[in-house]
Structure 1
Amino acid sequence: MKFGKTIETSAKELPEEWQPYLIQYNSLKKNIKGIVEELEDTFRTLNLPLPLGETDSGEQSAYDVNHGNRSMDTCTDLETMTTTGMQLPEVVAYNIEKDSDGLVHPVIIVKIRRQPSNRRERIIELPDIAGLPKNTSIMLPSLANTDDSGSAESPAIENSSELEVDATQASAMPMPRFVDSTGDDDVFNPGAPLDTPAGGNVLLESRFVEGAEETQVTVRLQSDRMFFVQLINYIERTRTFEQAYTQQYSSNVNSLGSELTFVTSPFKHDFQIWREIFRLYMDADVWSHAEGDLRPTNTAKEGQDRFSKFTQHIETIGLAGQFRDPLSAKLLVSFYKLNSELTYMKLLQEMNELATRKIIKKHDKRTHLIAKTQFPQLISFDTTTLTRALIYTVYTELVGVVPQINDYMCPMCLNIAWRPLRLECSHVFCSRCVVKASRCRMFNCPVCRSKDAIYRAGVTNVDQALLNFLKLYFPKEVKERQRDIQQEITEEETGIIKSMQSRGKPCIIM
């Protein structure tokens, strides 16, 4: 399926009010045809071969000898250029410039170098040939017989140059001027700019470098400029929509977070249900990778598939049906909606990025003007920063409202850090693990290796605020941890008694 059809099919997945902010690929594709026509007409009028774009080495130095329907004529022109001392165009450059007003101006620069000669040249104004019959031949006097005083001898017929001009183009385009150079090196003589029939312009400039004449032809195509103006307008319009949407999305997230704070109070029945929902949401890695760095997933479809599996799992285990507060059910629907909008935003950005890359590639292929390396420097097209900011907002304002037990684990036993001891290096461990580490003569912090951090820890290091927090938000886990610790202490004491009995020593208590 062609990309134009693909993007039309994918656009149907977006809400109807989002579809106008897609880059109109088919419209831009039609404009490329006009660029090709203007490019061929301009280069044909200037008797220049068309550029072939990048060579194997990546340089824009190839030329199309057989462009249009004038393959034989062009070959003749090139042969004439060679026999008269004029070489093939040496350099062709395609630059996309940006002025102070932010407008882009694509420029094609062709340099032609004439072999050194002793001939002196003078300005020859071509007559106005408008109205003459088509393909009228004009005899130009040769410049080879000019003496040192600047006067030209009577030209001979055999030394004349014949310029064949299409009179149908003459009325729409002024004739060029041949620039008279004094013969001094590095003398720069600009010619008059020429307007192309499509609204662009051509500037011919000549100068002498090391005794050889170098002519620079600067071509500005109107259709090419309008192509990039239209593409940038699409991108800027989408960016404006994204900025407005981001503000609205953040406002909706903050509003939902405020309501969640009420229903997720530790004194509410729905608190435990919401904590389980958000735990499953984190485990599903809907919008982040397993590393937990909140990097957006590769595609919008991948995120959508993960979110669908998450919602199906919630329905399967029946968590939504356990809510007692009707507001919780409504907030869960709003949470689903925010995640769906994230999918739409990611899809919109992916489609616009792909459409931009495809249309630039099509432009370069059809026109042989390489813009793929320059256009990204003019306007940035970032599809990750905005999505990452929205994902971060969801995680901090919504998921972070309900504390998760994974954030309060002891690094040593990987259980809840009950009776937390905050060492002088600020790392937190449960008191039971600190006691065990001291018995094993592990006096440094196991995390940062702070010297004697465990050795100097005592009752004063108990984080009372964190202890109260754990009792409030994790009462079930705290009771289980207390029971495990007590059982572990009992087993240690029983083992000590048995070991003493095995050595024949009576129990000091009994």
Structure 2
Amino acid sequence: MKFGQDFKETLATQDFPSHWVEHAIPYGQLKKCLKKVLKELKDLGLDHDTLQSLIDPENHSPVALKYRLIASENSDIVRPTLTVDVYLEDDVIVEASLTPASRLFFEKIASEVRHSHQADSGSTSGNSSDAGQDDDVSVQDQNSEIQHKKNRRHETIQLPLVFDHEFFEMLQNDVSNIDSLQDTERQQMSDEIKALGEDLAQITKPRRVHRTDMIPWRNIFELYLDAEVFFATHEQEHGARSSQLALKKLQWFQGEVKKRELQRIFKIPQSQVAYDRFLRINANLLKMLQFQEINQLAVHKILKKFDKRTSFGISKSFRSAIQSHQFMTGAIGRDVCAQMSQHLTNVVPQLNDYLCPICFMVAYRPVKLDCSHIFCLRCIIKIQRSRESHCPLCRSDVVMKATIMHLDDDLAKYMKKHFPTEVSDKERHNQIERGLEDYGPGYKHQECSVM
């Protein structure tokens, strides 16, 4: 199936909103415009073979074509410009490979430029009548130079094309329209994320009474962060994901939530509503990525076709010229993920952010060293006993300077409030370690009991 048909079918069958489809790249219209470009070039005597030979950088021909994109002064639109460098001898183009139509066209353009130059030189020729007499040798040199310039002359001519301007203007406007669409969708998703974050802040708020869904939501977001649905941060695998891989990651995340029955342990009815909204935001973002990718492919295909038919080799420079457009950079996934991290996952503190980097348990009774790194009190005491003065992370000479004043009481209260189970486990672990130190390997820990 040709890409044009596949593109049209994808837009019709992927359940994209109708206003998205209206903003899609008009691949069919661009193909028709490309045909007009080719016809215009052919009418000038520039068929495919002629263009290919004149643009070839290894072809040292008296005629050379250059096709460039020139940025407009007052807008972001780039304009295509086709120029021809012509070398004439006795006012005749010496190039055997030119077709008769191409030769006539170039000589006509060169003649118009020559007449324009003659008119300009004629208007200023009277200004030199008062010049002094030179010796005979100087006059002969000047006559020889004039004769050489007359016999061989170089002209740079801009060819008056119309439909290539129409082609690139249409394509750039379409890219800008998709940019505007994505800005609108991004803002809508951002508003939805902020509203959901406010609801989650109430649902997961720690309370004295155990009617809170902080734990299941923490597990949900832990799975979501592990999935890295839309954006990967690993060293070997980083950057935005394709829509196909994002779909697999999202399906894995939903499967894990279902397998662990996290929805069943919700205590607050609003949690299920919030979870459905969270999935809907992800589904909308995935749909936008699919729409973005198919349109990026359409831009790539039409530029590749343009280069193949004209030999102008402009696709890379055009993509570079429009790299400022967010549609081409695929930034929407990264931006929305940043919004979700700020307003959703950060609402429910993750245990990984509060672990001691030595024992990998919650850093309860946290000690903040002068280098700003945080460790649990138990690990700092062990390091001081071993007379190690350097921070295990940055190697600053700060460990032996730590005192009771370095205990972060506010952070300790925060940990006890948001990680009560982990803090209890940490306290029990510390008690067992102290018992072994005080009473030896025969120590058996027993919980405190009131008789």
Range class of TM-score, shorter chain: 0.7 to 0.9
Return the offset for 1:181.
Answer: 6.4
Gaps of 5+ in 1: 63-86, 122-141, 143-163, 192-206, 499-510
Choose which of 418, 424, 430 in structure 1 pairs with 2:376.
Answer: 430
> Distance in 1 between the 2:148 and 2:78 partners?
31
Alignment of 1:69-88 (within 5 A): none
- How many angstroms apart in 1 are the aligned matches of 2:181 and 2:333? 14
Are residues 1:105 and 2:79 paired? Answer: yes
Q: In the alignment, which residue of structure 2 is the partner of 1:128?
A: none
Structure 2 residue identity aligned to 1:90: V
- Identify if the C-alpha distance between structure 1 residues 430 and 177 changes in structure 2 by more than 3 Å, giving closer, same or farther: closer
1:241 corresponds to which residue?
A: 181
> Which residues of 2 match residues 377-392 of structure 1 at below 5 A?
377-380=320-323, 381=325, 382-392=328-338
Q: Kindly provide the CA deviation profile for residues 293-341 of structure 1, in whole angstroms up to 9, marking residues without a partner as x.
A: 9954331110111101111221222211221211111110000011111
**Equivalent-residue separation in structure 1 for 2:74 and 2:110 (angstroms):** 32
TM-score, structure 2 normalization: 0.80
Q: Which residue of 2 aligns with 1:16?
A: 17
- TM-superposed deviation, 1:250: 1.0
The aligned counterpart of 2:123 is: none
1:486 aligns with 2:431: yes
Instruction: Single out whichever of 374-383 and 338-347 deviates more from structure 2.
Output: 374-383
Residue 192 (structure 2) pairs with residue 219 (structure 1): no
Cα pair 1:53 1:368 within 8 Å, conserved: no
User: Deviation digits for residues 342-369 of structure 1, max 9, x if unmatched?
Assistant: 1122222222222111111100111222
Match of 1:373 among 316, 324, 327: 316
* 1:2 corresponds to: 2
Give secondary structure in 2 for the equivalent of 1:401: coil
Q: Is the 8 A contact 2:231 2:333 kept in 1?
A: no
Distance in 2, Cα, partners of 1:48 & 1:410: 68
The CA distance in 2 between the partners of 1:190 and 1:360, in whole Å, is: 41
Structure 2 match to 1:132: none
Partner deviation per Cα, 1:181-206 (whole Å, 9 max, x = no partner): 69xxxx94589xxxxxxxxxxxxxxx
1:192-231 correspondence runs (5 A): 209=149, 211-231=151-171
SS in 2 for 1:262: helix
Distance 1:297 1:377, change over 3 A: closer
Greater radius of gyration (CA): 1
Alignment of 1:96-495 (within 5 A): 96-102=69-75, 103-115=77-89, 178=111, 188-189=117-118, 209=149, 211-267=151-207, 268-291=211-234, 296-380=239-323, 381=325, 382-451=328-397, 453-495=398-440
1:208, CA displacement in angstroms?
8.2
More helix by share: 2
CA contact (8 A) 1:264 1:274 kept: yes
Q: Following the alignment from structure 1 to structure 2, what is the Cα–Cα distance between the partners of residues 26 and 473?
A: 57
Q: Please say if residues 34 and 223 of structure 1, whose CA atoms lie closer than 8 Å, have aligned partners that are also in contact.
A: yes
Q: Is 356-365 or 287-296 further displaced after alignment?
A: 287-296
Change (3 A) 1:281 1:292: farther
Q: 1:179 to 1:280 in 2, by over 3 A?
A: closer
The answer to whether the 8 A contact 2:27-2:298 is kept is yes
Where does the alignment leave 5 or more consecutive residues of structure 2 unmatched?
Answer: 93-99, 121-146, 444-451
Using CA pairs below 8 Å that are at least 6 residues apart, which structure has the higher relative contact order? 2
2:253 partner letter: F
Cα distance between partner residues in 2 of 1:54 and 1:387: 43
Q: CA deviation at 1:292?
A: 8.5
Q: For residues 144-182 of structure 1, give each alpha carbon's deviation from its aligned partner in whole angstroms, at most 9, with x where no partner exists.
A: xxxxxxxxxxxxxxxxxxxx99xxxx9xxxx76836969
For normalisation by structure 1, the TM-score amounts to: 0.71
Do the aligned partners of residues 49 and 444 (structure 1) sit closer, same or farther apart at CA in structure 2, a change above 3 Å counting? Answer: closer
Aligned residue pairs total 397
Give CA deviations for 1:48-77 in whole Å, capped at 9, x if unaligned.
Answer: 98311797xxx5566xxxxxxxxxxxxxxx
Question: Aligned letter for 2:5?
Answer: K
1:273 shift after superposition: 1.0
Equivalent residues of 1:273, 1:323 under 8 A apart: yes
CA distance in 2, matches of 1:225, 1:208: 38
The residue number in structure 2 matching 1:93 is 66
CA 1:424–1:104: 2 relative to 1, 3 Å: closer
Distance 1:316 1:24, change over 3 A: same
Residues of 1 paired with 2:235 and 2:259: CA distance? 26
**Paired-residue identity, %:** 28
Provide Cα deviations, 1:213-259, integer angstroms capped at 9, x if missing partner. 22433213211111111111110111111112222211111111111
RMSD value, Cα: 3.2
Counterparts of 2:48 and 2:351, CA distance in 1 = 73
TM superposition shift of 1:39: 0.4
Mapped partners of 1:387, 1:105: distance in 2: 30
